Structure 1
Amino acid sequence: MQKQLQEQSENSLIKEEVTYDDIAEVVAKWTGIPVTKMLQSEREKLLKLEDQLHKRVVGQDEAIEAVSDAVRRSRAGLQNPQKPIGTFLFLGTTGVGKTELAKALAEYLFDDENAMTRIDMSEYQERHAVSRLVGAPPGYVGYDEGGQLTEAVRRKPYSVVLLDEIEKAHPDTFNILLQVLDEGHLTDNKGRVADFKNTIIIMTSNIGSHIIQERFEATKDIDSAIEAAKIDVIALLKQSVRPEFLNRIDDTVMFTPLTKENIIKIVGLQLKGVTKMLAEQNITFDATTEAVNYLANKV
């Protein structure tokens, strides 16, 4: 009888006690503040940052270290608390992990991979398109929708903002983004303020891919190759992005080309995700070493 009552109590829909976790979960839904932000000390989270990012991002040790150090510097009070947590420019060829690192940061720091807003800056190549970031003026189509950037941050104040292919944006775009980097907020077309002080802003660029490849093929010294490639690519980037904007970015991070070993490890991680997904459907999946190597060669 006692055992039945215990089972009944455990399966009851109504809890007799409200725990800290319950309160945190409700407040998180109301405010958009991640649950672990309230339950886990930020210090503890920041100390484990590299380890967590390495679980998802392969072959980019220098990039992970640079981002982790910059985030810790910001949260240690060495930066204006009214500005974004961190602003980064990710440089590198396509498919080396720039977007994946942004997703990993969102998942670990803000509890949710979806706590990331991706904006394709190639959609802002024309002057008339720039206003869409903060919302169309009164009388224009899209006025009621709000700004693509401001609305996203108002809805997710704790998030990663990914500005993809920044070099393709119209020069007027940087007037808006400069305000975010300088003041940490942006006012939309209806006078509402979007606060960026709890966001991480990441800009990516694939510009100079051939230069990066050449630099890394020319030397085995990774550090030298990174510095040389960074100097060359930034010089190229300054032709389309205002220098005063680049100077306000906390850190410019160069992603290295992937090795064969890196690709094999990435394939293994992807297959691990497939295995987990199929297991939820009671389907067993296993890949041999030969199969992993075969897939890696096809990449």
Structure 2
Amino acid sequence: MPYLTDMFHDQNQTRPDPTEPPAPRPVGAFDPTALTDRLNARIVGQRNAVDAVVRAVSLASVGANDPTRPLANVLLAGPTGVGKTELVRQVAAELRSGPDDMCRIDMNALAQEHYAASFSGAPPGYAGSKESFTLFDRGAVEGDPYTPGIVLFDEVEKADTTVLRALLQILDHGELRLANGQQTISFRNSYVFLTSNLGSAELAARLRTPWARLAHRPGRAERRWGGETVVRRAIERFFDPEFFNRLDETVVMNGFDDRTAREVTGLEIDVVTRRLARRSVSVDVGLDVVALLCAQGFDPAYGARGLRRTVRAVLTDPISAAVLEHRPMGTEPLALTTRVVNGRVRVTCM
């Protein structure tokens, strides 16, 4: 038996010194702050949705989730074009090999009852029952001991009620037993995301009223129009209570305001300039061009999709014409600058 002095000595040796910096995290450890920063840099104006996703990953990383259910069941709702699907893609890029490394089920394709067989497989006696054909990619769903699965049910409200009932066993038990009764797909190592546009039509109608446009101020529009209340009421009216109660979290994503529109426009411009930089074409885009793109392309009812169309038509098209004019062939470096002249983007060679 050790002496008491030896015991106290051992305790003092293992007690951390509060004046010293903490030990570095082991390689591969989950860092919620870093994940939050990276997602916020790619999905602008949606801090509440990013926080919900990081919270779900944090709970699963420490083993605080229910082992008999998926790692998380998160419903992302809100207006169209605000980044619901893109957020899930960025989560897949962080947790797996890339933004498309996930199992995405387009629920629009399951809008009729007889398509439910593609969800859970053909029942016994029907063609394909022995082969257990299903829409799910097992590798992307089940993952492995080091990599979780990512599953996205896109626009879940478009699916037939038969499909939604089959979805209940996934959300509740983390498993999908195929209709032939011979195989089971496990979702217990998966983050299950669902997206919904419920309430978008009513929100779009509100956003098109004159008083709504006048009241459109950064960070205040959603509260003034009651956008979150509209979406949550639409969700509660559509989904049965047993479905709604199986969700770990329901997040209503914010509609775009003027500040968010400018940030998204900057990101879209950055995508274009980086693509051209790979072809040795550098483009200087001025603030007047950014303002023009926001003025012509921003519509709160359509979110980022309208901006992308405008960037393509107003900015990318004259840039491509300038590249073909000044460098029809070859790969020598080319520097271009853009400015607004008479309401249009003019591109010149520097």
Q: 1:148 aligns with which of 132, 135, 145?
A: 135
User: Matches of residues 204-215 of structure 1 in structure 2 within 5 Å?
Assistant: 204-212=195-203, 214=206
Number of corresponding residues:
260
Q: Which has the higher helix share?
A: 1
TM-score (norm 1): 0.75
Q: CA deviation at 1:126?
A: 1.4
Q: What is the CA deviation profile of residues 58-92 of structure 1, one whole-angstrom value per residue up to 9, with x for unaligned ones? A: 11112212222233123333221242221111111
Q: Is the 8 A contact 1:116 1:161 kept in 2?
A: yes
Q: CA deviation at 1:257?
A: 1.0
Residue 99, structure 1, aligned to residue 85, structure 2? yes
Q: What is the CA deviation profile of residues 168-193 of structure 1, one whole-angstrom value per residue up to 9, with x for unaligned ones? A: 21112122211111221223356333
TM-score (norm 2): 0.65
Q: 1:60 aligns with which of 32, 38, 46?
A: 46
Q: Which moved more, 1:149-158 or 1:108-117?
A: 149-158
Aligned equivalent of 1:16: none
Secondary structure of the 1:133 match is helix
Gaps of 5+ in 2: 1-25, 298-350
Structure 1 CA distance for aligned equivalents of residues 100 and 224 of structure 2: 30
User: Matches of residues 69-84 of structure 1 in structure 2 within 5 Å?
Assistant: 69-84=55-70
Aligned letter for 2:190? T
Structure 2 CA distance for aligned equivalents of residues 115 and 173 of structure 1: 24
Structure 2 CA distance for aligned equivalents of residues 272 and 65 of structure 1: 25
User: Matches of residues 211-222 of structure 1 in structure 2 within 5 Å?
Assistant: 211-212=202-203, 214=206
Aligned letter for 1:137? P
Aligned equivalent of 2:184: 193
Aligned equivalent of 2:243: 245
Secondary structure of the 1:48 match is helix
Aligned letter for 2:29? S
Identity %: 31
Aligned equivalent of 1:182: 172
Q: Is the 8 A contact 2:142 2:189 kept in 1?
A: no
Q: CA deviation at 1:101?
A: 0.8
Q: What is the CA deviation profile of residues 207-249 of structure 1, one whole-angstrom value per residue up to 9, with x for unaligned ones? A: 1125446499589885983995444433323443221111110
Structure 2 CA distance for aligned equivalents of residues 240 and 48 of structure 1: 36
Residue 40, structure 1, aligned to residue 28, structure 2? yes
Secondary structure of the 1:186 match is strand
Q: 2:270 aligns with which of 264, 269, 272?
A: 272
Aligned equivalent of 1:285: 283
Secondary structure of the 1:148 match is coil
Aligned letter for 2:95? L
Q: Is the 8 A contact 2:102 2:151 kept in 1?
A: yes
Aligned equivalent of 1:87: 73
